[in-house]
Structures are given as structure tokens and as C-alpha cells.
Amino acid sequence: MILEQLIGNLIQGLVLGAIYGMATMGLSLIFGVLRVVNVGHGAFIMVGAFIAWWLFSALGVIPILAIPVALVIGLALGFIFYYSVLRRLIKAPELASLLATFSIGVLLEETAKLIFGSEFRGYNWAVGKITLPMTVLPMTKLYACLGSVLIAVLLYIWFNKTRAGTAMRSVVEDSEGAKVCGVNVEGVYAMSFALGIGLTVVSGVLLTMFIPVGINPYMGGPYTLKAFVIAVLGGLASPYGAFFGGLVFGLIENGSYTLFAFLPGVEPFALTRFFSCMMLLVILLIRPTGLLRAK
């Protein structure tokens, strides 16, 4: 029984972890290239969630088809906020960009509240379930997981096989050197920020495929917190590390719950968080740059 529950929860954890990883890649990308900590990260996840909900509820568009829409909107938001706010703050003290991204987050939340209200929303895309011996997996969760993996692979290819990706990596390595080699560093900053936001907004869509309820303007908070933990776990400046970190985090979160549940007199969820943070500390002690070192 314990083993059955453990395996079931690990499968669920792996699926959720892929989405957590996807939701953190944007944060890591922005930090890796621009050295900007996007405190408003969760608000962009919320934007993606609202895009999925609105397209499905108002127009009947299935969430998978909402992904390209979310990517376009995310890229557009990224460029807008980069050129209107972040561009001026790249060389400013870190606190300035921290406050700026925090303000952008609040702006997005309050705008969403103005448009959609503060109600908790959800949608129901019923496409069946897979019943495994140890757990039940709705197809929407599986699609979300596969979508996350696919996007992570595409991002990997883009980074390693395209000129734009190579330029971006060169800026991560040494922005001054890249400039000397003729890389348009300013353009790379803008593209990285836009791509980071685009990925984050897309992750909002994928997240609603895993949890299609509780969509509201302030839903991003817990995800911001988790994304920071995962980003540090995987290596703050490494998008692939973030994805890997997400998988590990999902497995730890779900797997440890099952084990702690068998300890008498303890609330397993409370210990799960404790355990996740302990694991983070241990990993940082062993590998201060995270599981996958930033290149």
C-alpha cells in the first residue's frame, strides 16, 4: 500500500515537476542574461492562466491552442516592459530593477482584477483519464507535462543551434566580449527578457491544464516563491537547470509527503516544505551553483 501510494505520488510529482520547471525557465533566463530578478514572475503566470481560461470559456479554444497565443502575448509584454522600464535599469543598482519588476507584477494583478474581477475562476476541459494501478492521471495533466518537455527541448535546440541562441549564450558568458565580437547586446537583452516573459506566460497556460481552478489575479504568489526555490536548486542562471530543478522539486514534494504521512503525529505537508528547503540547503552546500551549473 505504501509503495503503491509512493509510486502514484511520484508519477504525479514528475508531471507537476515538469510544469514547475517550465514555469521557472523564464525566471532563470532573464536572470542569466540580464541579471534581473523578476519579482513579478507570478503575475505573468497569472496572465497565462487567464489567457487559457478566457480562450476556453469565451471562445471554446482548447488550452493547447492557447499556448501560441500566450507566447505571442508574453513576447509582446516582454518587449513592452523591457523598452519602457527595464532598459533604463540594466546598469542601475539591483534594488531598482527589483522594485520595477515588483511594480510590474502589481500593475498586472490590478489590471487583471479591473478586467476580470477578483473571482476565483476555472474551466473544465474534459478529455479523459488514464487509470494506472497506483494513480489516476487526467489527460490534461499529461498534455501539460508533454507540452513542458517539448518546449524545454525546443528551447535547448534554439539556444544551441541558432545564431540568436548562440548570441544569447555569449552575452551570458561575457557581455563585454560579446559586444566586441559584434553581438547586438541591447537586442539580446530585449529578446531574452521577452522570451523569458513569453515562457512564463506559456507556463501559466500549462499550469491551468494541471490545475484548471483557482484562476484569479493574485494566484501567482505561491508560484513565484516556488520558482525562486527551483531556480536556485537548478542553478539560477541556467534555464535547463531550472527545468531539471522543477522535476526534482516535484518529486521531492510529492514523494516525501507519502513517507512523512506514515510518521505518527506529524502533518506531512508541513514537513514536505521543511524537507524541500532542507534539500535546497544541502544541494547548495554541495553545489553552490545549483544542480546544473550555469555555463
Partner 1 sequence: MSNRCSIRMIGFVAVFALLFATHASAAPGKIVIGHPACLSGKYAKAGEQAIGGIKACVDWVNKVYGGVTVGGKKLPLEYKYYDCESKKEAVTSLISRLITVDKVDCIFAPYSSGLTLRGAPVAESHKMLYMDHGGANNKIFRQGFQYIVQTIGPASRYHEGTLDMIHKVDPHAKRVALAYEDSEFAKMVMAGAEEHAKKLGFKIVFKRTYPKGVTDLTPLLSALKAAKPDIVIGGGHFEDGQLFNRQMADLDINANALSLIAAATLPAFYKALTGMAEGVMGPSHWEYGVKYAPEEAKKVGLPWIGPSQDEFVNLFKKALGKDIIPDYHAAEAGAAVLALVMGIEKAGSVDSDKVRRALGDLEFMSFYGGWDVDDTGLQVGHSMVDVQWQGGKRVIVWPAEAQTGKLYYPMPTFAEKAKGKLAVPK
228 binds partner 1 (CB under 8 A): no
Q: Choose, by CB under 8 A, the member of 101, 192, 208, 254 that binds partner 1.
A: 254
Cα atoms in the 13 Å half-sphere on the side-chain side of 236: 14
Residue 122 beta carbon to partner 1: minimum distance, rounded to whole angstroms? 3
SS (H, E, C) 58-123: HHCCCHHHHHHHHHHHHHHHHHHHHHHCHHHHCCCCHHHHHHHHHHHHHHHHHHHHHHHCCCCECC
131 binds partner 1 (CB under 8 A): yes
Q: Choose, by CB under 8 A, the member of 25, 63, 121, 241 that binds partner 1.
A: 121
124 binds partner 1 (CB under 8 A): yes
Which residues are paired to 131 by β-bridges?
136
C-alpha dist (Å) from residue 222 to 1, 43, 225, 227: 31, 11, 5, 9
Interaction pattern, residues 81-120, with partner 1; x per rule: CB under 8 A: -----------------------------x--x---xxxx
Q: Choose, by CB under 8 A, the member of 115, 154, 181, 270 that binds partner 1.
A: 270
269 binds partner 1 (CB under 8 A): yes
Query: Closer to partner 1 at the Cβ: 149 or 211?
Result: 211
Interaction pattern, residues 48-77, with partner 1; x per rule: CB under 8 A: ------------------------------
Residue 108 beta carbon to partner 1: minimum distance, rounded to whole angstroms? 13
Query: Closer to partner 1 at the Cβ: 172 or 206?
Result: 206
Question: Residue 263: exposed, middle, or buried by beta-carbon count in 10 A (0-12, 13-18, 19+)?
Answer: exposed
Q: Cell digits for 268?
A: 506531512
Instruction: Give one word for 38, left, alpha or beta, with left for phi > 0 and alpha for psi -120 to 50.
Output: beta
Binding stretches for partner 1 (CB under 8 A): 1, 5, 8-9, 12, 16, 110, 113, 117-124, 126, 129, 131, 135-136, 138, 141, 210-219, 221-223, 226, 253-254, 257-258, 261, 267-270, 272-273
